[in-house]
Amino acid sequence: MFRAQRAGSGLSALCSSSLFIITMRSRRGLATVLFAIQFLPLAFASDAVRIAATPIDGKERTGESVTVESLESGGHQITSTAAGTLSLYTANPNRVDIPAVIGKSLRVNDKQKFEPRFPLQTGIQYFVAVGSEGDSGKSRLFSFSLPKPEREPTARVAAVFPSADTLPENLLKFYVHFSEPMSAGDSYKHVRLLDERGDPVELPFLELGEELWDGENRRFTLLFDPGRVKSGLLPRRESGAVLESGKRYTLEILNTWRDANGQPLKASFRKSFQVGKPDGESPRVEAWKIASPRAGALDPLEIEFEESLDEALLHRLIEVRDPSGNPIEGTIAIDRNERRWRLTPARPWGEGRYQIQVRTLLEDVAGNSVGRPFEVDLEASDGRRPEPFVFREFTIR
Amino acid sequence: MKHPILRGLLAMFAGVSLAAALVGSDYLANFKTGDPELKSTGSIAFGPQGILFVADQKAARIVAIATGDLVPASTGKRYEVSDIDAKVAASLGVSPDQIQVHDLAVNPISRNAWLSVSRGRGADAQPVILNVSAKGSVSLLEMDRVKFASVALPNAPEDKITGQGRRAKNKRLESITDMAYVNDQLIVAGLSNEEFASNLRAIPFPFKNVNSGASIEIYHGAHGKFETHSPVRTFTPFDFGQGDIHLVAAYTCTPLVTFPLSELKPKAHVMGRTIGEMGNRNRPLDMVVYSKEGSDYLLMANSARGVMKVETINFDSLPSIDSKVADTEGAPFDTIADWEGIEQLDLLDDAHALVVQKTESGGRNLVSLALP
């Protein structure tokens, strides 16, 4: 077995290399080797460690050694000087019936080598069986683990949208933004909706095995169960709407949610909000207030909405075009509880007539899009399909 | 998911080598050889000739991979693999908590089990496609030199900065909630992480161009009065007879609906006919259709209400419970008591399902079960 210890700070100079070696030798006194780590997907940052090794069965034989080193590719290579095939396991193969780690066996200069198909994980114990293939009982068994750097939790909930304190009864979703990439796969375990007494509301959210993340695992989309938002469906008839007008609720993100490095959040997060009347109306683009900047200035164009709109869609679905029809480059800022959208141009505004193109997919926080309310009343609808865009214009002088 | 129509076609391919060769040259004609460089993996489904469709949602595309898994199954293949999640984790060299099993698909030719797995839980989790033999050995589909073709999902997020110069990187992604191959089309159901809309697509295969498979708008009608966008969570093709193929689908808002495959045209506005509401506090996970003793049944795995067996005999004559006057509870169903903890479901053969079943101890087994 191995004993891993943290090395002193004087070793840090050794850590700059991407190469590290763990040596496991059965001869007493030769078991200590230093190495540096530069790590990869499942693993974590560099650190220096010192490892003292003994073979797992305690029976030592002269000249036998098993080493682990990292490769430039980010993978690892295990080398054995002992005779016989080399297999890697994530548990003791003499005790647990598990398959060997998938990888490639090589023989180089009388040494048996094995490259696991994927980089190894820090913090778990690996077992190396050297000997008769397919009969681990006759193998010599070694063990190692790649040290897991000790880390303080740093990830936190950076923002939750919609940000307003009063939200409609038919609120459709929250966006939860994290300061760092997060772990996926069991996300709904770490989210609760609490009622006024602090009791969790039962199954308020649509739990999808696929989970709705952005590409960096920093933004999580949390949809309310649409069966309890839409009118007339069994979940809503039996359990009622998730949110009730006039009551207060708290969205709670528990610190048990782990970041991509396996660390919990620094703290739990709570957003408390009042619930108002349901919103069944489409956003009215014609009612938006547009404040035009002056020609020659770098002041932002400002658009104020009648209600809070979907924060994510606001970043994508509004575009401003200059008098020649070219899109204006600049920086978008959204504030006032997602009721204001500002575009600060990269270059000063020129004079002329500008066009604001709004995709009718743009939604408010209850899923009513510019083109279509969330629920269309078929008796009142003219049945027409929405156009893809609506337009507003403004003039810069 | 698999269904009798597809299985019939595939049996034909597998059984008649000349036909397989001729048809195969069509299906694989546009395939490239190389590394498809998957960014992620999620839903998977088999098409003809051992072609596996993989939803690569981080890259906003579907990749068709020729698995080469073409040896017809010996009869009576059965699975009894305990702790499949632990075995997968061990094979990939990580602890079981670092494994996410996204989907299970049975190759209808070989009857081999294929799993779509992420190794790791962060944004850099590695996508892995695995083949599990009936004996429980796990092998990796190496991607460095496979035959593949891919199709971008329309409305894919653009990484390039357009229009508003320093606009934040587009965070829109679509989660593919289910896929099935039927009649030379790949049907793909997705849900965006931003706008709430149905993203059902019928993508012709072999893939032709990126514009194929424009989104079909799927709606749910409530009591003949309200109509809402209704993303599809899981579905299966079902033959109403004489080649009148419908999709039986469960919406994210839970009703069980059907709509004709022939209506799934780009930009069509399709309202599913509600034939059942499968209950509150429950999420449909997966469904298959099978025949037994001359009748067809729908088998649906759920998060909370076990596995439901639904008689399909009346699917085309059941009154829609969307209508204002109907007071029906919809399609009758039985809950299969012993099938608890089913997380993944596919057909293994005519008489057996293959499932990933969560045990009381928290482990997961890959087992074949006689169809109820």
Q: B140-160, pLDDT tens digit by residue?
A: 999 999 999 999 886 554 443
DSSP string, A302-330: EEE-SS-B-HHHHHHSEEEE-TTSPBPPE
Q: What local confidence, expressed as pLDDT, does residue A384 receive?
A: 73
Q: What local confidence, expressed as pLDDT, does residue B365 receive?
A: 96
Among B164, B222, B252, the residue with its CB nearest the CB of A330 is B164
> Which has the closest alpha carbon to B256: B303, B306, B321, B197?
B321
Q: What local confidence, expressed as pLDDT, does residue B110 receive?
A: 95
Q: What local confidence, expressed as pLDDT, does residue B267 receive?
A: 72
Point out the least confidently predicted range of A255-269, B192-206, B321-335: B321-335
Q: What local confidence, expressed as pLDDT, does residue B332 receive?
A: 76
The yes-or-no verdict on residue A127 having pLDDT over 50 is: yes
Chain B positions in Cβ-Cβ contact with residue A73 (cut-off 8 Å): none
Residue B163 binned pLDDT confidence (cut-offs 50, 70, 90): very low
> Which has the closest alpha carbon to A90: B254, B98, B250?
B98
CA dihedral B223, B226, B229, B230 (to 10 degrees): -20
A116: contact with B, CB 8 A cutoff: yes
Q: In B, residues 56-75, which contact A (CB 8 Å cutoff)?
A: 57-58
Contacts of B15 (CB under 8 A, 6+ apart): B72
**CA–CA gap between residue A76 and residue A91 (Å, rounded):** 18
Chain B positions in Cβ-Cβ contact with residue A213 (cut-off 8 Å): 123, 173, 193
Residue spans of alpha helices (H) in A140-265: 234-239
Most distant CA pair in chain B, distance: 64
Distance from CA of B360 to the nearest CA of A (A): 18
- Chain A residue with minimum CA distance to B43: A210
Pairs across A and B, CB distance < 8 A: 237
Helix, strand, or coil (residue A62): coil
DSSP string, B274-338: EEEE--SS--EEEEEEEEETTEEEEEEEESSS-EEEEE-TTTTTSPPTTSSS----BS-EEEETT
Q: In A, residues 243-302, which contact B (CB 8 Å cutoff)?
A: 258-261
**CA–CA gap between residue B258 and residue B330 (Å, rounded):** 12
Q: In degrees, to the nearest 5, what angle opens at C-alpha B208 toward C-alphas B206 and B212?
A: 110
Among B90, B195, B225, the residue with its CB nearest the CB of A91 is B90
Question: Which is more confidently placed, A40 or B86?
Answer: B86
Among B43, B95, B227, the residue with its CB nearest the CB of A124 is B95
Q: What local confidence, expressed as pLDDT, does residue A142 receive?
A: 86
Q: In B, residues 121-140, which contact A (CB 8 Å cutoff)?
A: 121-126, 137-140
The yes-or-no verdict on residue A146 having pLDDT over 80 is: yes
Q: What local confidence, expressed as pLDDT, does residue A379 receive?
A: 72
Which residues of chain A are in CATH 2.60.40.1220 domains?
A: 285-396
DSSP letter at B239 equals: E
The yes-or-no verdict on residue B260 having pLDDT over 50 is: yes
Q: What local confidence, expressed as pLDDT, does residue B16 receive?
A: 42
B167: contact with A, CB 8 A cutoff: yes
Q: A293-344, pLDDT tens digit by residue?
A: 999 999 999 999 999 999 999 998 999 999 999 999 999 999 999 999 999 9
The yes-or-no verdict on residue A355 having pLDDT over 60 is: yes
Across the range B317-329, mean pLDDT stands at 55
CB B89 within 8 A of CB B352: no
Q: What local confidence, expressed as pLDDT, does residue B161 receive?
A: 40
**CA–CA gap between residue A341 and residue A125 (Å, rounded):** 52
Chain B positions in Cβ-Cβ contact with residue A216 (cut-off 8 Å): 123
Rounded to 10°, the helix B17-27/B4-15 angle is 110
Q: B231-243, pLDDT tens digit by residue?
A: 888 999 988 878 8
DSSP string, B137-164: -EEE---TTEEEEEEEPTTPPP-S--SS
Pick the CATH number of A285-396 from 2.60.40.1220, 2.60.40.10, 3.90.1150.10, 3.20.20.80: 2.60.40.1220
Q: What local confidence, expressed as pLDDT, does residue B214 receive?
A: 55
Q: In A, residues 217-236, which contact B (CB 8 Å cutoff)?
A: 217-219, 221, 223, 225-227, 229-235
Q: What local confidence, expressed as pLDDT, does residue B326 receive?
A: 46
Q: B91-102, pLDDT tens digit by residue?
A: 999 999 999 999
Instruction: Note the pTM of the prediction, 2 decimals.
Output: 0.87
Q: Which residue has the tokens 């683009």?
A: A285
B203: tokens are 């993508």
CB A299 within 8 A of CB A293: yes
Chain A positions in Cβ-Cβ contact with residue B144 (cut-off 8 Å): none
Point out the least confidently predicted range of A166-175, A269-278, A345-354, B274-283: B274-283
A385: contact with B, CB 8 A cutoff: yes
Chain B positions in Cβ-Cβ contact with residue A116 (cut-off 8 Å): 93
CB environment B152-163: b (16+ within 10 A), e (fewer): bbbbebeeeeeb
What integer best gives the mean pLDDT of chain A?
Answer: 83
Which residues of chain A are in CATH 2.60.40.3710 domains?
A: 157-276
Chain B positions in Cβ-Cβ contact with residue A121 (cut-off 8 Å): 93-95, 98
Residue spans of alpha helices (H) in chain A: 234-239, 311-316
**CA–CA gap between residue B250 and residue A171 (Å, rounded):** 22
The yes-or-no verdict on residue B13 having pLDDT over 50 is: no
A108: tokens are 């180089």
Q: A64-75, pLDDT tens digit by residue?
A: 778 888 888 888
**CA–CA gap between residue B177 and residue B195 (Å, rounded):** 16
First to last CA, chain A: 78
Residue A141 binned pLDDT confidence (cut-offs 50, 70, 90): confident
Q: A202-252, pLDDT tens digit by residue?
A: 889 999 888 999 999 999 999 998 888 877 777 777 777 899 999 999 999
Across the range A15-20, mean pLDDT stands at 38
DSSP letter at B252 equals: T
Rg (alpha carbons) of chain A, rounded to whole number:
30
CB B335 within 8 A of CB B308: yes
Residue B2 binned pLDDT confidence (cut-offs 50, 70, 90): very low
**CA–CA gap between residue B180 and residue A174 (Å, rounded):** 30
DSSP letter at A164 equals: -
The yes-or-no verdict on residue A259 having pLDDT over 80 is: yes
> Which has the closest alpha carbon to B123: A259, A74, A157?
A259
Question: Which is more confidently placed, A204 or B14?
Answer: A204
Distance from CA of B58 to the nearest CA of A (A): 6
CA atoms within a 13 Å half-sphere pointing along the CA-CB vector of A382 = 4
Averaging pLDDT over each range in A152-166, B182-196, B213-227, which range is the top one? A152-166
A328: contact with B, CB 8 A cutoff: yes
Task: Give the domain A157-276 fold.
Answer: Immunoglobulin-like (2.60.40)
**CA–CA gap between residue B75 and residue B270 (Å, rounded):** 41
Question: Which is more confidently placed, B12 or B274?
Answer: B274
B317: contact with A, CB 8 A cutoff: no
Tally Cβ neighbours within 10 Å of residue B213: 27
The yes-or-no verdict on residue A60 having pLDDT over 70 is: no
The yes-or-no verdict on residue A135 having pLDDT over 70 is: no
Distance from CA of A308 to the nearest CA of B (A): 15
Contacts of B179 (CB under 8 A, 6+ apart): B43, B44, B45, B53, B55, B62, B186, B187, B188, B189
- Phi/psi of residue A224, nearest 5 degrees: -70, 150
Distance from CA of A237 to the nearest CA of B (A): 9
B166: tokens are 């320093």
Q: What local confidence, expressed as pLDDT, does residue B168 receive?
A: 54
Asked if B175's CB is within 8 angstroms of A208's CB, the reply is yes
Distance from CA of B190 to the nearest CA of A (A): 10
Q: Is the ipTM of this complex over 0.90?
A: no
**CA–CA gap between residue A82 and residue A64 (Å, rounded):** 5
Q: What local confidence, expressed as pLDDT, does residue B229 receive?
A: 80
CB B315 within 8 A of CB B238: yes
**CA–CA gap between residue B220 and residue B229 (Å, rounded):** 6
